[in-house]
A and B are shown apart, each in its own frame.
Chain A
């Protein structure tokens, strides 16, 4: 069954702590993305990766970091530098970022709450 998985579903962070959100896909997609969703707002792009070992900042990358060591995996680390990290985080993938196969498919999300 192909798809995108995210874990954990819920995550709680203490002040000053770094946390890592997992995103795995078995769709054989080259491109992967991280978005943040806040109530009443559209999704905002944090980071994206078009290929293994390469990633680019999105609109709101400050306080976040990513890695892309494997095609299937694109973990997101929320660092202590992110001042307002409480949000719903969504991972997505597409066959390619550019071109006609750029339709994005989303995972189930991780809700991060700062205690």
Chain B
């Protein structure tokens, strides 16, 4: 069974600092890995999706890397802003197309 872990559970940084969010998964046989953002009481917004054949994906200030062999993905957010404050979740898609979610990292960017 795929287990997805996100450490730390919470993170607080000053504005302008780069954010590094970690996601680890136990079964390296994944189809893809997806990063989401969730604001309090809201649904999930898809940020980036990395296919298993890719090493990274970029969108604006966001960059996500994938290392299947070590079971890790990292989301980098450059030059953080207070508007980046949210919970970030990763989800690994197994080869049976089932998504397994981490519990998320809650980020606070202090102005």
Could you tell me if A107 and B43 are in contact, using CB atoms closer than 8 angstroms?
Answer: yes
Report A85-107 residues with CB < 8 Å from chain B CB: 88, 90, 92, 97-98, 100, 102-107
Report B16-39 residues with CB < 8 Å from chain A CB: 31-32, 34, 36
| Alpha-carbon separation in the docked complex, A108 to B41 (Å) | 8
Give the A-B pair count, Cβ closer than 8 A: 51
Could you tell me if A98 and B45 are in contact, using CB atoms closer than 8 angstroms?
Answer: no
- The verdict on A43 contacting chain B, using a C-beta distance below 8 Å, is yes
| Alpha-carbon separation in the docked complex, A6 to B45 (Å) | 15
Q: CB-CB < 8 A to B104: which residues of A?
A: 42
| Alpha-carbon separation in the docked complex, A40 to B89 (Å) | 11
Across the interface, B34 reaches (CB within 8 A) one of A6, A45, A103, namely: A103
| Alpha-carbon separation in the docked complex, A44 to B101 (Å) | 8
Could you tell me if A42 and B42 are in contact, using CB atoms closer than 8 angstroms?
Answer: no
| Alpha-carbon separation in the docked complex, A57 to B9 (Å) | 30
Which residue of chain A has its CB nearest to the CB of B49?
A103
Known: A40-B103, A102-B93, A102-B97. A108 touches B34 (CB 8 A): no
- The verdict on A84 contacting chain B, using a C-beta distance below 8 Å, is no
Could you tell me if A45 and B98 are in contact, using CB atoms closer than 8 angstroms?
Answer: yes
Report B32-70 residues with CB < 8 Å from chain A CB: 32, 34, 36, 41-46, 49, 51
Other A-B contacts than A41-B103, A42-B89, 13 sampled, CB-CB below 8 A, are: A4-B43, A42-B91, A42-B100, A42-B103, A44-B101, A90-B44, A102-B31, A102-B93, A104-B34, A106-B43, A107-B43, A109-B41, A109-B43
Residues of A within 8 A of B (CB): 4, 6, 40-45, 88, 90, 92, 97-98, 100, 102-109, 111
